[in-house]
Structure formats: C-alpha cells, structure tokens
Amino acid sequence: MRIVLLGAPGSGKGTQSQRLVQRFGIPQISTGDLLRSAVKRGTPLGIAAKDAMQSGKLVDDSIVLGMIRERLSQSDTATGFILDGFPRNLAQANALDAMLGEVGQPLTAVVLMEVDNVELTRRIAGRRSCPNCGTVYNIYSMTLGSDLRCTNCAERPALVQRPDDNEETVIHRLRVYDEQTRPLVAYYRGKGLLRTIDAQADVDAVTTALVSALSQPAEGTARRKRVSGKAPPKRKAPPKRKVAAKRKVATKRKVPTKRKVATKRQSAAKRKVAAKRKTAPARKTVARRKVGARRKLATSRGKRSASRSRRPARKSTRRR
Ligand code: AP5
C-alpha cells in the first residue's frame, strides 16, 4: 500500500494516518511532523522552514522534496507507506511520481478527505497535542478534564497548542490549500487513483469509510474501461407484466395524430356536402329542367309564327 491522504488543514489526515499505521503496519510520513521536529531541534532545515510554517505558507519545495527523498529511502517503507500532508502542489506531485517511478513503486491510492470550512476551523481551534509523545487531542470531542494533560504519558505533561493553529494563520492555510493543493484532486483523478470520502463524521465512522474506500476501485475507473473498448454491461429487461401495463397506460393516454384529425375534418366536410345535396336538387335534374324550359319556349314561339303566317294580310290604310 502506497497511499496519499489528501485534505485541507484539520480534515483529520494525521488522526486517520495513525489508525492506518496500526491496521496495516506501514509507516506514516507526515511532512508537517518532520518539519516541526526540525524546527524544534533547530537544524538548518528547521530554521529555513520556520517562518513559512508560522505564517501558514508552504515551505520551499526543495526543502520538502529533500526530506521526502531521504525518508522514502529508509527500509521501513519497503512494504508501503502513508503520505500525510505531501504532496501539496503539482510540482511536488510530479517530483513524487518521478521518485517512485525510479524504484518501480508507484502510488496505489489517493484518498481525498472532505470536510466543510466551519468544521475545519472548529477542529483546528480545539486541537491540542502532547509535547512529549505527540498524541493529538481535541478539546471539543474528548473528556480531558480542566487541566488538559496527556493521558498517555506517565508524567502527564500539559497539552500544547500548535503555533500555527491561530485564527489568522488558519484562514491563510485554508486559502493556500484551495489555491495550491486542491488542483491535485483533478491530477490524481486523471491518473485513476482518486477516492473521495466524507470526513465530516466522527473519527470511527471516517476510519470505516477510509478503509472501505481503499478496497474500492478509483473514481472514473469503470468509465475508463468502457472507453478502452469493453462493452458496457447489458441493461436488464423489465418484467413482461410491467411492459404490458405500461402499454395499456400509453394507449389510454394516446393523443389523436395529425392524420386522424385531418380524416375527421374531411369526413365532416363530406357529411355537409351530402346534407346540402339532400335538400337541393341534383345538378343533372337542374340541367334537364333548364333544357325542358328552353324547348317549351321554342315550341311556343314556333306556334306563334305559324299562326301569323296563316292570318290574312291587313289592308293597307296608307293612301296612295
Ligand atoms: P501539517 O502539519 O501537514 O498541517 P495541515 O496539513 O495543515 O494539517 P493539520 O495537521 O492541521 O490537520 P490534519 O488533517 O492532520 O488533522 P488532524 O488529524 O490533526 O503542515 C503544517 C505546515 O507545515 C504547513 O502549513 C506548511 O507550512 C508546512 N508543510 C507541511 N507539509 C508541507 C509540504 N508538503 N510542502 C510545503 N510545506 C509543508 O485533526 C485536526 C483536529 O481535529 C485534531 O484535534 C483531531 O483530534 C480532530 N479530529 C480529527 N478527525 C476528527 C473527526 N472525524 N471528528 C472530530 N474531530 C476530529
């Protein structure tokens, strides 16, 4: 298992990393812890990193990458590791890929732990840790008593608050996360490594979600397979009864088609014409009647002219 836990400050990367260490027996590599230890010891690296850490900025890539290279070369990482707080920008992600590529041991999973900003701020404000053993506590989710002391160490040292856990620095750290670290979500999704979990729930529920996500395929992997040529799974045919019922409903709902509407209009027009014919005489009849009338007229004219020719000529009254 070579895992990266990705998430904003206070999302629980450190807390969950420790649980994965116990579960899988692989080491946690936290760049934040390594840097804090260097600052505490006053090493040149620590001195160089101190200012950036206290103001909530990212420490220079060259410092962090040197530290990671050195840590990954140790023998306990041979069976796997959990990277907590690294990589934090695209340059670090590319450098990590190259480093792991050299030894032929690429990452196996990246888990994005999502928590909203209100909860992140609350968790960071309530965080306390033991200066001796480093155990992390939270005043809001644990019954620590009023004196806030470590329950793990025999001498019970008083718990301390991290110098970068003040309100002003937290706002800056959240902004740095959005601008520089969030682009890694798309980067690792593109590589087919990303899993996303809701890390807003209580610590145990988040552990369950995290362990389950590690055994699931990465986001977008199914789609990638389909694109690569494998046929998508066939859709299950619905049971016959359902199909018949659907058809019935559809028939009831059927709206008359344009053709049917046109046919109905035509037949209505035909009916009108037929009704007119019933009341009005047919064309032929009208024509016959006309012919008959004309003949009658001609006959009567003929009779009149015949009777005129039979009449004696009138005497001329004109004087000669
Ligand atoms: P780092 O130490 O990595 O800090 P961070 O990324 O800001 O993350 P945190 O440690 O604040 O939060 P976390 O997600 O580990 O949460 P935790 O489990 O503690 O970095 C510090 C600084 O170092 C950086 O600002 C930067 O300057 C420098 N740095 C580090 N890495 C670098 C890199 N790669 N490149 C450049 N610079 C780098 O939980 C938080 C609190 O919430 C705890 O109190 C915990 O008890 C509580 N809690 C956890 N889970 C839950 C839960 N589910 N419900 C309720 N409470 C919870």
Per-residue pLDDT band at 225 (split at 50, 70, 90):
very low
Per-residue pLDDT band at 148 (split at 50, 70, 90):
confident
Q: How far is the CA of 14 from the centre of ligand 1 (A)?
A: 6
Q: What integer pLDDT is reported at residue 167 of this predicted model? A: 84
Q: How far is the CA of 2 from the centre of ligand 1 (A)?
A: 20
For 254-281, write each residue's pLDDT tens digit: 555 556 555 666 667 777 766 666 555 5
Tell me the catalytic residues: 13, 88, 127, 162, 173
The larger pLDDT score, comparing residue 238 to residue 24, is at 24
Percent of the chain with pLDDT over 90: 58
Q: How far is the CA of 227 from the centre of ligand 1 (A)?
A: 38
Whose CA is closest to atom 41 on ligand 1?
123
Q: Provide CB contacts within 8 A for 177, sequence distance 6+.
A: 8, 9
Per-residue pLDDT band at 38 (split at 50, 70, 90):
very high
**Probe target for ligand 1 pocket from 6, 50, 58, 148, with the most ligand atoms within 8 Å of CB:** 58
Which atom of ligand 1 is closest in space to residue 88's alpha carbon?
Answer: 34
Cβ burial, residue 100 (10 Å; 0-12/13-18/19+): middle
Q: Which CATH architecture has domain 2-115+167-224?
A: 3-Layer(aba) Sandwich (3.40)
For 91-116, write each residue's pLDDT tens digit: 999 999 999 999 899 999 999 999 99
Q: What integer pLDDT is reported at residue 314 of this predicted model? A: 47
Q: Provide CB contacts within 8 A for 36, sequence distance 6+.
A: 53, 162
This prediction's pTM:
0.73
pLDDT above 50 (res 253): yes
Q: How far is the CA of 9 from the centre of ligand 1 (A)?
A: 4
How far the first Cα of the chain sits from its last, in Å, is 155
For 154-179, write each residue's pLDDT tens digit: 999 999 999 899 888 999 999 999 99
Kindly list the protein residues whose Cβ atom lies closer than 6 A to any atom of ligand 1.
7, 9-15, 31-32, 35, 52-53, 56-59, 64, 85-86, 88, 92, 123-124, 126-127, 136, 138, 141, 164, 173, 202-203, 206
Q: How far is the CA of 319 from the centre of ligand 1 (A)?
A: 153
Please identify which residue in the block is written with the tokens 């033991």. Answer: 130
Please identify which residue in the block is written with the tokens 């990277």. Answer: 83
- Segments making up each domain of the chain, as ranges: 2-115+167-224, 117-160
- 176: number of Cβ within 10 Å: 19
**Probe target for ligand 1 pocket from 13, 114, 178, 198, with the most ligand atoms within 8 Å of CB:** 13
Whose CA is closest to atom 29 on ligand 1?
32
**Probe target for ligand 1 pocket from 6, 120, 123, 135, with the most ligand atoms within 8 Å of CB:** 123
* H-type alpha helices, 164-257: 167-176, 183-190, 203-215, 221-227, 240-253
Q: What integer pLDDT is reported at residue 226 of this predicted model? A: 41
Whose CA is closest to atom 49 on ligand 1?
12
